[in-house]
Chain A
Amino acid sequence: MSTATKERASGATPPPRRAGELTLGELLRFGWRQLTSMRTALILLLVLALAAVPGSIVPQEGVDALKTSNWKDAHPTLTPIYERLSLFDVYGSPWFAAIYILLMISLIGCIIPRTFHYWRGLRAVPPAAPRNLTRLPDSTSYTTDEDVAEVEERARRLLAKRGYRVRPARDGEDAVSAERGYLREAGNLVFHLSVVVVLVGFAVGSLLGYKGGVILLVGDDAGFTNRLTQYDDFVPGTLFGADQLDDFAFDVDSFDVDWLDSGPAQGQARGFVSHVSYVEGLDDAPTEYDLRVNHPLQIDDTEIFLIGHGYAPVITVRDGEGNEVYSGPTIFLPQSPDFLSFGVVKAADAQPGQIGLEGLFYPTFINVEGDPVNVMGEANNPTLSMQVYTGDLGLDQGQSQSVYVLDKADAELVTKADGSPFRLDLQEGQTETLPDGLGTVTFEGLERWNRIQISQTPGKEVALIGVCLALLGLLGSLFIRPRRVWLRARREGGSTLVEVAALDRSGGGDVGVVLQQLVADLRPGATPGHTPGADGAGPATTEEKTS
């Protein structure tokens, strides 16, 4: 390909140029032709698949932020390199975008010329028969007593009935030509266009949409009002504007969990439901809704999902001077399906030293031979078991810090007199005094929390319609068999010799069988069309009943 272009280039223009030199226009045309070639498309497709791999190996910021930051902490040398390569955000990275944008261009560059081509093809009459039909790979012949005109007439009628487009008889032509399966190419075009539609829908969603999450306490009257400041985490699309936020507010009034009390999954939740009440606009009367997994609540363009729940023990910390330095429901994150949960408490203002608690919450605690065991997710014997830290909890550096992680780098573990770590074991209502005059900790009660995801996904309907169309087009392009049939009859020694040939243009068909069927039906005395489905455009498999 490249040498051919070069030769043409050097032969065409008067001023002599060095070999291999191309004008800019030629270079561009050459590049364009390369880009929109089938082989490039194939390679780009495979490269896209390959490029998607790292994102499934390296933790992704957009998928699991906590895991990503843990990974970064664990790999200090690799992290800067990976960051430069956007490996924590593969699907939003420039190089990933480069691949699919090239593929899109290739696709469009491929579709447009084909659409014109197809348009012409749609109205074209089937091409004339090749001179020698018996040379085609799938051909056959038979002799009959009918005369030539009769055979041709019968063939035309039969083929037309089978959905073939038949070339009108012309002077000087001695054969019947027919073609079917014109819609395959349409299916193919629809499919490829739809891929573009899907990409557009997807892009709209990631540019204009957002998703955010918030953890809400059940029964908390403060509830949630849809303002940016109320979100715990918020991931806007590049073109998202804050005025897109719909006006609404809701409370989680109550929350029910259906615990499994028998069977192998005993102690896990079978189902759960949040009873929420929401107001649209700002002063309407509240509406009730039962929010469950798989049943999001839709308000205007915004959807609200219940995606998790857990316990929030109410903990109060008093410092060595008796002042209340921390009090309130503390969100513990479940570690396993039985809701054994992990949480931390940070009391920055405690005197004489800061107090940090880190440990586990057991909804149903039992003691098995000295080991703490959690029996189930239902809170039948709620127990806190935490270790205590004091000293510098890293809270004063003005740096943002996760509320779920205790920075223990400069803190010291509080120990008992014998030097073993001090452990705080509290049941509901109990208070324990910390060593070294640090203060006291009380487990006051238990609340529950819900994790709510709130998002806008514009363009999702476009994407959905796109894939559905793509599927439709795909079915057409895979199962409509474009096929040409030719028949030529001539008198030969008192009878008529009929040659028939067929050509499958899809690469998946088995024309041999079609040809046999056709010939069987063409022979005088045959009852045409006795095998239903043998000529249908339906799934290809039906037309191949091998004997």
Chain B
Amino acid sequence: MSDSAWEALSNQAVAAAGLVYFLALLAHLVEWSALRKVPVEAGARETTTVGAGGPAAPAYGASAEPAAGSEGPDHEHRIDLFGRIGFSLTVVAGLVHAVSLLARGMAADPNRVPWGNMYEFTLSGTFVVTLLYVVMRRRLGLSWMAPLVVGFVLVLLMVDVIWLYAPVSPLTEALNSPWLVIHVVSAVIATGAFSLGGICSVLYLLKERSITKGRESSTGYLSRVPSLAVLDRVSYRLHAFAFPVWTFAVLITGPIWAHQAWSNYWNWDPKEVWAFITWVVYAAYLHARSTAGWKGRNAAYLALLGTATLWFNFIGINFFSTTSQHSYAAPEPAPVVAEAPVLAGGA
């Protein structure tokens, strides 16, 4: 296959993945709108009393499982079916998404990892969000997150294709390093996990507000979302997973690579500054969560502050800062660090 054929394949795969994500989103929306008619207790009662019968062993995700409906087994069956269709479509979309990444790498000459520019980075980042969701869904009971995750990925993919698209080109010299793989993989994984954690925190705040305002009803999306304690804990888990990965990406591999390529392992480049700020904010989150006993709302605000700095660093810095040496965003890599040596007394 020629390089341009691979590139065309990649573009088609992105379009196809977008379409399948869209169908998955529709399926989940049907599922959730059907669930609206079903009061939440029906499902919750059934699933939380498992095991030794201890008081409310929190099996989270439980209340979000499609519930036994009051409208009979037929209705219940339909809900269940749409939930599973939605998930299967998400998996399919994820696979097609992976194909688009692979083809993108094959399209370059020489073949390379698909992380040469913002378009490719976003393509990879959204893929990791899907991947983490699919992998952790059972473990963390994330099925209630489905419409949000799929919607999030779909929107970012659209932004990526519409605004960030760049044709395949070889890596610039500075990117041509094994550290690219290690550094970027870890940064992308951490970004994906932080984003999922951020989604949990948003839901936490929404749900909390609807409870304190007394608008908590037994139907509707928010009532299906796990309890506040569970949301808080899942969010913590995702952040606790992402934080060491982020540390590895921005405080270990980043500096090692920066040292090789630019002779400074830490130069307070805007990208570095914001990676550091993000790190500090998330450290404050973990701190607050585990030592200051700041569970719940305040922790969620800190987590969202972290999400904001994370994405600002990823997208914002590339557009607003002109001094960053992280050139993958700019269409052109800076060919020279144009520091003007100042000599005394003219030439």
Q: Which of A236-288 contact B (CB under 8 A)?
A: 260, 263-265, 268-272
Which among B55, B262, B340 has the greatest number of chain A C-beta atoms within 10 A? B340
* In contact, B345 and A310 (Cβ under 8 angstroms): no
Residues of A within 8 A of B276 (CB): 49, 52
For A478, give its contact among B56, B58, B243 (CB under 8 Å). Answer: B243
Please list 10 pairs of residues, one from A and one from B, whose beta carbons are closer than 8 Å in the complex, sorted by A's number.
A138-B54, A214-B341, A294-B174, A305-B261, A345-B347, A401-B342, A455-B264, A464-B255, A478-B240, A510-B233
User: A: which residues have CB within 8 A of B?
Assistant: 38-39, 41-42, 45-46, 48-49, 52-53, 55-56, 59-60, 62-67, 69, 90-91, 138-140, 142, 202, 211, 213-215, 232-233, 260, 263-265, 268-272, 292-296, 303, 305, 307-310, 326, 333-334, 336-337, 339, 345-346, 348, 377, 393, 395, 398, 400-405, 451, 453, 455, 457, 460, 463-464, 467-468, 470-471, 474-475, 478-479, 506-508, 510, 512-513, 515-516, 519-520, 539-542, 544-547
Q: Which of B201-209, B213-221, B288-296 contacts its partner?
A: B288-296
Which among A55, A296, A510 has the greatest number of chain B C-beta atoms within 10 A? A510
Give B4 Cβ to nearest chain A Cβ, in Å.
9
* In contact, A475 and B260 (Cβ under 8 angstroms): no
Residues of B within 8 A of A507 (CB): 236, 289-290, 293, 295
Residues of A within 8 A of B60 (CB): 510, 546
Q: Is B252 interfacial (CB 8 A cutoff)? A: yes
For the complex of A and B, list the 8 residue pairs with the smallest distance between their C-beta atoms, beginning with the closest.
A308-B336, A140-B54, A232-B341, A265-B169, A512-B57, A516-B51, A56-B270, A49-B280
* In contact, B284 and A520 (Cβ under 8 angstroms): no
Residues of A within 8 A of B136 (CB): 541
* In contact, B347 and A403 (Cβ under 8 angstroms): yes
The answer for the CA separation of A55 and B267 in the assembled complex, in Å, is 11
Residues of A within 8 A of B266 (CB): 202
The answer for the CA separation of A214 and B339 in the assembled complex, in Å, is 10
Interface residues contributed by chain B, number (CB under 8 Å): 94
* In contact, B274 and A400 (Cβ under 8 angstroms): no
The answer for the CA separation of A55 and B292 in the assembled complex, in Å, is 30
Residue of A nearest to B61 (CB): A546
Assuming the contacts A333-B338, A401-B346, asked whether A263 and B54 have C-beta atoms less than 8 A apart, the reply is no
User: B: which residues have CB within 8 A of A?
Assistant: 47, 50-62, 109, 136, 138-141, 166-170, 172-174, 176-177, 179, 233, 236-237, 240-241, 243-244, 247-248, 251-252, 255-257, 259-270, 273-274, 276-277, 280-281, 283-284, 286-293, 295, 309, 317, 321-323, 332-333, 335-347
Give B210 Cβ to nearest chain A Cβ, in Å.
24
Assuming the contacts A269-B335, A337-B335, A453-B263, asked whether A508 and B240 have C-beta atoms less than 8 A apart, the reply is yes
* In contact, A510 and B58 (Cβ under 8 angstroms): yes
The answer for the CA separation of A10 and B240 in the assembled complex, in Å, is 46
* In contact, B263 and A211 (Cβ under 8 angstroms): yes
* Additional pairs, 10, CB under 8 Å, beyond known A293-B261, A308-B337: A63-B323, A140-B52, A265-B169, A294-B261, A303-B263, A307-B336, A403-B340, A471-B247, A478-B286, A513-B59
Residues of A within 8 A of B252 (CB): 464, 467-468, 471
Which among A339, A515, A544 has the greatest number of chain B C-beta atoms within 10 A? A544
For B336, give its contact among A270, A310, A470 (CB under 8 Å). Answer: A310
For B340, give its contact among A91, A348, A402, A519 (CB under 8 Å). Answer: A402
Assuming the contacts A269-B335, A455-B263, A546-B61, asked whether A140 and B55 have C-beta atoms less than 8 A apart, the reply is yes
The answer for the CA separation of A333 and B334 in the assembled complex, in Å, is 11
* In contact, A467 and B251 (Cβ under 8 angstroms): yes
Give A96 Cβ to nearest chain B Cβ, in Å.
10
Assuming the contacts A41-B287, A460-B259, A541-B139, asked whether A63 and B265 have C-beta atoms less than 8 A apart, the reply is no
Assuming the contacts A56-B317, A270-B173, asked whether A333 and B263 have C-beta atoms less than 8 A apart, the reply is no
Assuming the contacts A471-B252, A516-B51, asked whether A400 and B343 have C-beta atoms less than 8 A apart, the reply is yes
* In contact, B236 and A400 (Cβ under 8 angstroms): no
The answer for the CA separation of A67 and B340 in the assembled complex, in Å, is 9
* In contact, B273 and A272 (Cβ under 8 angstroms): no
* In contact, A56 and B263 (Cβ under 8 angstroms): no
